Amino acid sequence: MLPQLVALDMDGTLLDAHGQLPADFPELQKLAAERHCELVPASGRQLATLKDMFPHIDTFIAENGSVVMRGGDIIATFPIAEETVRAARTAADSITEPHTTVLCTPETAFVAEDVSDAARAELAKYYKAVTWVPELSSVPDSDIIKIAIFCEAGSEAYVYGPIRQAVPDDNVAVSGKVWLDVMARGVDKGAALTKLAELSEVPIAATAAFGDYLNDLEMLRAAGTAVAMENAHPQLKEVADIVAPANTDNGVSVVLRKLLSS
């Protein structure tokens, strides 16, 4: 089936090893438009960052599904319950391995000023709108849509356990080797894709999703056609209908062209 809606993860999927879009992406957009197919960036990155990266696109799944924009309008945001925010923040404070906690609202990301150079470099990649504060404790627990934790030593090894134990009923996703995200219960890229398809009057069978890491798992499960990258986490390859070449080999372009020509 020719896809009508294609969700594209960014890092490790659409972007190359240097975080750059494929050179033929404008051509892919044109080809998709000719086939009446919409390409939708779907990322853990914040909405402001995605809008800056894609000035000619107005539909996004941002913050791992916590913010959904369609046609330039934010159609859904999913705040985390305040008690969950408090529990996750307390657990994060107990982690002894060096880490940085980011409190995300739909408009900005709150970060303490005293962070490592490595954390600043990572934040610059993913967060265009940042509000630096002397102490993160000054930020209230309300209106938080995502809690992101950067741990250079490894998010799965050092952060996942304490956070999962603290908030067992909410969505805790390892979104990269050094990142972990906490979203509200039931909020993920897959739920966002399902919502977007419904509002766009696109059958879920006519959707496709490309991803590489664990925060993409629900999105691949939800999509009509699931595409995991060659460099993907093994769990994604297990649920994939197609395994694309690696992101460093322009894998999205290779498979997307085939899907749009089917």
pLDDT digits 0-9 by tens, 14-57: 999 999 999 999 999 999 999 999 999 999 999 999 999 999 99
CA neighbours within 13 Å on the CB side: how many for 137?
3
Classify domain 5-77+187-260 at the CATH class level.
alpha beta
Looking at domain 82-183, its CATH architecture is 2-Layer Sandwich (3.30)
Q: What is d(CA 152, CA 142) in angstroms, rounded to the nearest whole number? A: 28
The reply to whether 82-183 shares the fold of 5-77+187-260 is: no
Q: Evaluate if residue 127 carries a pLDDT over 90.
A: yes
Domain ranges of the chain: 5-77+187-260, 82-183
pTM of this structure: 0.88
pLDDT digits 0-9 by tens, 224-262: 999 999 999 999 999 999 999 999 999 999 999 999 997
pLDDT at 66: 94
pLDDT at 239: 98
pLDDT digits 0-9 by tens, 148-195: 999 999 999 999 999 999 999 889 999 889 999 999 999 999 999 999
Give Cα separations from 67 to 83, 102, 198 (angstroms): 20, 16, 16
Q: Would you say 87 and 168 are in contact if contact means Cβ atoms under 8 Å apart?
A: no
pLDDT at 1: 77
Q: Would you say 241 and 227 are in contact if contact means Cβ atoms under 8 Å apart?
A: yes
Read off the amino acid at residue 54. Answer: F
